[in-house]
């Protein structure tokens, strides 16, 4: 079924934003709310949003006008859902309200229409049961503001037809969002499951008198975050926080009901920004936060441990993969890293001890370490190696055809390189080094990009850890020069920073004409740290290496070819494979191995030692069967058949 028209039930903060997203993507939209003032406010907010996008050059003025014209505003559920292919419920986060609206809409919507809920916490299965289409019901959890935030959590009910989930995933991509598909229904899904544990922690900090809101917010801001937890709770609304904790206390753990401070503020009507008062005074439209020194009663490990614990629970329960959890938290909470990448910087023991401490201190079972952490299997579970956990897709994989192998970095969209990719590269290169059949290895990226370089959002605990990361990259990349066969980097689109350093360690570099290369590190306050400062100068000379590294500029593949950085320009991957296959047929493997050693090791030694090594290598080759075969084939004017002996 092709979805062309969408009904959005509820014109509040989320509803009108979702309606705008679909309208901008070319869908006919009906936005329904029973309150006329809500519809008027939605009209105004959508117009203001489209105008801003137009003024900033994000969309053309006429596109904004067309998008607004696609939206029909109505107070009638029947009018909204009649004839549409998709109904999205976005009413307040109250089970009874959502159930009533869904039941009513179910009566008038086409039988084949898909129903979705934008709930942020409630089980999708519970909502699906109030309709007559439980197999066509799915969770589509957008994030606020929907026009800006990319994430949509796509959650099936226990009864949902998998094909409907597939359809919704593709629909999210069509409207410009990044869908994360949950494996099964779970309250809070991914982001709010993790966020709720944080929220409980920060509430108990106040309940126990550990620190004041302004002291904690000051500490969090001192760590580089733009907003502290209490300011954020005020901004989102303490009614939403209260309802979320209440629901999760019924569905996950009664510990979520222990939060007294938020409950007291909620009962007083102090809901944060929307009411003018919450943890702080918002009467001026902005929070009046008392000046305070950062508290020393909390550490980042307190927060990280709690989030890692919840992430591991989701993996153990089969709700989501480590990769999807990382993506969801980064996009949904607007962070540079998620709990999975953070967990890689800590041991099971460190996390377990911190969680046991927090659980005891706050008398809260939610913080108690989950099974995998207690058993010392944190690394295994976040890498998808624990029984019952879903494995992440391969970040690096090898394809082999005859004597040519292809090593691909697979981390879309830009194939950036982080610790996980380095680990996978190291493992793959070790395995390839023992393959006696390979004559040529092509190194490239999956999709249309070689690689945009190192993953800059990766979390590091300190400078020592970052230095170790640099050494690891140097060690892994150098392995390419030590392989006993020819290595060829195929650069397409981008080879920036660490990616270019990877290419530098290959024996040859081929590139498409439109590709770009460069070292942007100095424009970021860094330096090339995976051997770029050393390797580049040896290949193209100090002067040109200085120009490339010290200016941070990018150069075209054509200029890289003229500088000798690229060996040849090629049109496409088919040309590269043909080039590799032709080389694989005519190269003597032992000759290649020894020649590589002389080029990479001999040039680092004094010239007399290098010459001696060269003579010894020639002597070794004189005794090989391949030399005899090469000479015979030359005299007989035929293709040699080298066997590597």
Q: Residue 392: which pLDDT band, with cuts at 50, 70 and 90?
A: very low
Separation CA 466–CA 452 (nearest Å): 19
Say how many C-beta atoms besides its own lie within 10 A of residue 348's C-beta: 21
Phi, psi of 282, deg, nearest 5:
-115, 20
Residue 612: predicted pLDDT:
82
Q: Using the predicted structure, report yes or no on whether residue 68 has a pLDDT greater than 90.
A: yes
Q: How many domains does the chain have?
A: 5
- pLDDT digit string (tens) for 155-212? 999 999 999 999 999 999 999 999 999 999 999 999 999 999 999 999 999 999 999 9
Domain boundary among 280, 298, 316: 298
Q: Which of 98-102, 422-426, 462-466, 485-489 has the lowest mean pLDDT?
A: 462-466
Q: Using the predicted structure, report yes or no on whether residue 391 has a pLDDT greater than 80.
A: no
CATH number for the domain spanning 628: value is 1.10.12.10
Q: Using the predicted structure, report yes or no on whether residue 120 has a pLDDT greater than 70.
A: yes
Q: What is the mean pLDDT of residues 117-141?
A: 97
CA angle 6/21/57 to nearest 5° reads 145
Q: Using the predicted structure, report yes or no on whether residue 344 has a pLDDT greater than 90.
A: no
Separation CA 311–CA 326 (nearest Å): 9
The residue to which tokens 């975050």 are assigned: 225
Q: Residue 270: which pLDDT band, with cuts at 50, 70 and 90?
A: very high
Q: Is residue 388 part of a domain?
A: no
Q: Is residue 198 part of a domain?
A: yes
Q: Nearest CA to 91 among 79, 104, 82? A: 104
Share of the chain above pLDDT 90, in %: 78
CA distances from 27 to 4, 85, 300 (A): 5, 11, 44
Residue 631: predicted pLDDT:
82
Q: What is the mean pLDDT of residues 14-30?
A: 97
Q: Residue 317: which pLDDT band, with cuts at 50, 70 and 90?
A: very high
Q: Is residue 641 part of a domain?
A: no
Residue 388: predicted pLDDT:
45
Asked if 444 and 526 sit in the same domain, the reply is: yes
Q: Using the predicted structure, report yes or no on whether residue 476 has a pLDDT greater than 80.
A: yes
Separation CA 448–CA 428 (nearest Å): 21
Asked if 204 and 114 sit in the same domain, the reply is: no
Decide if 501 is catalytic: yes
Domain boundary among 330, 357, 382: 382
Q: Using the predicted structure, report yes or no on whether residue 320 has a pLDDT greater than 80.
A: yes
Say how many C-beta atoms besides its own lie within 10 A of residue 569's C-beta: 18
Q: How high is the mean pLDDT of the chain?
A: 92
Domain boundary among 163, 181, 199: 181
Say how many C-beta atoms besides its own lie within 10 A of residue 94's C-beta: 13
Q: Is residue 25 part of a domain?
A: yes
Q: Using the predicted structure, report yes or no on whether residue 60 has a pLDDT greater than 90.
A: yes
Q: Nearest CA to 445 among 521, 512, 380? A: 512
Q: Is residue 287 part of a domain?
A: yes
Asked if 86 and 234 sit in the same domain, the reply is: no
Helical residues (DSSP H) of 3-138, grouped into ranges: 13-24, 36-55, 61-69, 77-81, 95-108, 124-128
Asked if 216 and 256 sit in the same domain, the reply is: yes
Residue 435: predicted pLDDT:
82
Provide the 3-class DSSP secondary structure of residue 208: coil
Supply 589's token pair.
């493997």
Q: Which of 220-234, 289-303, 382-396, 590-604 has the highest mean pLDDT?
A: 289-303
Asked if 206 and 294 sit in the same domain, the reply is: yes
Asked if 604 and 484 sit in the same domain, the reply is: no
Decide if 573 is catalytic: no
Residue 575: predicted pLDDT:
92
Asked if 316 and 289 sit in the same domain, the reply is: no
* 498 Cβ neighbours under 8 A, 6+ residues apart: 417, 451, 453, 454, 473, 528, 529, 530
Helices and strands (H, E) in the chain, number of each type = 28, 17
Q: Residue 456: which pLDDT band, with cuts at 50, 70 and 90?
A: confident
- The answer to whether 267 and 303 are in contact (CB under 8 A) is no
Q: Is residue 170 part of a domain?
A: yes
Residue 633: predicted pLDDT:
78
Q: Using the predicted structure, report yes or no on whether residue 231 has a pLDDT greater than 70.
A: yes
- Going by their DSSP bridges, the two strands 516-518 and 554-556 should be labelled as antiparallel
DSSP 255: G
Q: Given 316, 521, 547, 604, which residue is catalytic?
A: 521
Q: Nearest CA to 115 among 79, 159, 75? A: 159
Asked if 306 and 425 sit in the same domain, the reply is: no
CATH number for the domain spanning 222: value is 1.10.1040.50
Q: Is residue 323 part of a domain?
A: yes
In 477-628, the DSSP E strands lie at 486-491, 494-496, 508-511, 516-518, 554-556, 568-569
Residue 50: predicted pLDDT:
96
- Going by their DSSP bridges, the two strands 114-117 and 86-89 should be labelled as parallel
- pLDDT digit string (tens) for 495-508? 999 999 999 999 99
Separation CA 262–CA 239 (nearest Å): 9
Q: What is the mean pLDDT of residues 435-461?
A: 89
Residue 393: predicted pLDDT:
56
Residue 196: predicted pLDDT:
96
Q: Nearest CA to 561 among 507, 516, 506, 600? A: 516
Q: Given 153, 326, 455, 501, which residue is catalytic?
A: 501
Residue 390: predicted pLDDT:
44
Supply 557's token pair.
């593949």
Residue 389: predicted pLDDT:
45
Q: Nearest CA to 440 among 577, 601, 565, 626? A: 577
CATH number for the domain spanning 311: value is 1.10.1040.10
- The answer to whether 84 and 110 are in contact (CB under 8 A) is yes
Asked if 276 and 233 sit in the same domain, the reply is: yes
Q: Using the predicted structure, report yes or no on whether residue 385 has a pLDDT greater than 70.
A: no
Asked if 505 and 609 sit in the same domain, the reply is: no
Separation CA 516–CA 555 (nearest Å): 6
Q: Using the predicted structure, report yes or no on whether residue 465 has a pLDDT greater than 80.
A: yes
Q: What is the mean pLDDT of residues 573-580?
A: 92
Residue 182: predicted pLDDT:
97
Q: Nearest CA to 321 among 389, 224, 271, 248? A: 389
Q: Residue 627: which pLDDT band, with cuts at 50, 70 and 90?
A: confident
Supply 602's token pair.
């001999």
Asked if 400 and 281 sit in the same domain, the reply is: no
Q: Residue 225: which pLDDT band, with cuts at 50, 70 and 90?
A: confident
Question: Could you write out the DSSP letters of every residue in 324-361?
Answer: HHHHHHHHHTT-S--HHHHHTTS-HHHHHHHHHHHHHH
Q: Using the predicted structure, report yes or no on whether residue 48 has a pLDDT greater than 70.
A: yes
Q: Nearest CA to 185 among 154, 146, 227? A: 154
3-class DSSP string for 116-183: EECCCCCCHHHHHCCCCCHHHEEEEEECCCCCCCCEEEEEECCCCCHHHHHHHHHHHHHCCCEEEECC
Which domain, by its residues, includes 414? 396-574
CATH number for the domain spanning 415: value is 3.90.226.10
Q: Is residue 550 part of a domain?
A: yes
Residue 266: predicted pLDDT:
96
- pLDDT digit string (tens) for 544-573? 999 999 999 999 999 999 999 999 999 988
Say how many C-beta atoms besides its own lie within 10 A of residue 352's C-beta: 22
Q: Using the predicted structure, report yes or no on whether residue 605 has a pLDDT greater than 80.
A: no
Asked if 445 and 530 sit in the same domain, the reply is: yes
């Amino acid at each position: 079924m092709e979805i062309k028209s969408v009904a959005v039930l509820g014109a509040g903060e989320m509803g009108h934003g979702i309606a705008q997203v679909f309208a901008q993507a070319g869908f006919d939209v009906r936005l329904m709310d029973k309150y006329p003032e809500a519809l008027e406010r939605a009209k105004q907010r959508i117009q203001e949003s489209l105008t801003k996008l137009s003024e900033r050059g994000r969309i053309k003025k006429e596109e904004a006008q067309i998008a607004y014209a696609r939206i029909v505003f109505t107070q009638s559920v029947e009018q909204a859902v009649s004839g549409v292919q998709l109904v999205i419920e976005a009413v307040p986060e109250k089970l009874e309200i959502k159930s009533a609206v869904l039941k009513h809409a179910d009566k008038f919507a086409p039988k084949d229409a898909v129903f979705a809920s934008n709930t942020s916490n409630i089980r999708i299965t519970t909502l699906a049961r109030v309709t007559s289409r439980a197999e066509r019901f799915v969770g589509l959890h957008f994030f606020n503001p929907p026009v800006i935030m990319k994430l949509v959590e796509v959650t099936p009910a226990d009864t949902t037809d998998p094909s409907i989930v597939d359809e919704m995933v593709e629909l999210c991509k069509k409207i410009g969002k990044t869908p994360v598909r949950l494996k099964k229904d779970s309250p809070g899904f991914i982001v709010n499951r993790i966020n709720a544990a944080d929220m409980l922690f920060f509430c108990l900090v106040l309940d126990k008198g550990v620190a004041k809101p302004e002291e904690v917010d000051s500490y969090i801001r001192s760590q580089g975050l733009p907003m502290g937890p209490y300011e954020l709770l005020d901004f989102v609304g303490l009614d939403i926080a209260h309802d979320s904790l209440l629901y999760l206390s019924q569905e996950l753990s009664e510990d979520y009901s222990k939060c007294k401070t938020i409950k007291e503020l909620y009962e007083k009507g102090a809901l944060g920004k929307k009411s003018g008062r919450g943890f702080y005074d918002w009467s001026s439209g902005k929070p009046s936060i008392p000046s305070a020194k950062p508290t020393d009663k909390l550490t980042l490990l307190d927060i990280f441990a709690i989030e890692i614990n919840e992430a591991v629970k989701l993996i153990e329960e089969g709700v989501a993969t480590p990769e999807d959890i990382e993506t969801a938290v980064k996009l949904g909470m607007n962070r540079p890293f998620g709990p999975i990448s953070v967990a890689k910087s800590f041991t099971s023991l460190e996390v377990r001890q911190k969680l046991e401490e927090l659980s005891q201190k706050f008398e809260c079972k939610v913080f108690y370490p989950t099974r995998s952490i207690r058993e010392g299997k944190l690394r295994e579970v976040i890498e998808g190696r624990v029984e019952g956990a879903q494995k992440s897709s391969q970040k690096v994989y090898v394809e082999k055809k005859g004597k040519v192998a292809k090593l691909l970095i697979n981390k879309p969209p830009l194939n950036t390189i982080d610790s996980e990719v380095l680990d996978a590269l190291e493992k793959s290169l070790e395995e390839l080094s023992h393959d006696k059949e390979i004559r040529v290895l092509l190194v490239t990226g999956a999709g249309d990009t070689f690689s945009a370089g190192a993953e800059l959002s990766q979390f590091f605990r300190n400078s020592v850890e970052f230095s170790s990361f640099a050494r690891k990259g140097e060690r892994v990349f150098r392995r390419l020069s030590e392989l006993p066969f020819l290595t060829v980097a195929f650069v397409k689109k981008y080879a920036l920073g660490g990616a270019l350093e990877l290419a530098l360690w290959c024996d040859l570099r081929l590139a498409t004409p439109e590709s770009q290369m460069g070292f942007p590190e100095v424009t970021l306050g860094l330096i090339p740290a995976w051997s770029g400062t050393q390797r580049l100068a040896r290949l193209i000379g100090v002067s040109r290496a200085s120009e490339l590294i010290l200016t941070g500029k990018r150069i075209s593949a054509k200029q890289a070819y003229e500088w000798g950085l690229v060996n040849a320009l090629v049109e496409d991957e088919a040309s590269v494979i043909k080039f590799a296959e032709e080389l694989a047929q005519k190269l003597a493997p032992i000759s290649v191995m020894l020649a590589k050693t002389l080029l990479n090791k001999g040039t680092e030694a004094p010239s007399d030692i290098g010459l001696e090594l060269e003579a010894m290598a020639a002597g070794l080759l004189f005794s090989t069967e391949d030399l005899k075969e090469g000479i015979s084939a030359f005299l007989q004017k035929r293709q040699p058949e080298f066997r590597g002996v």
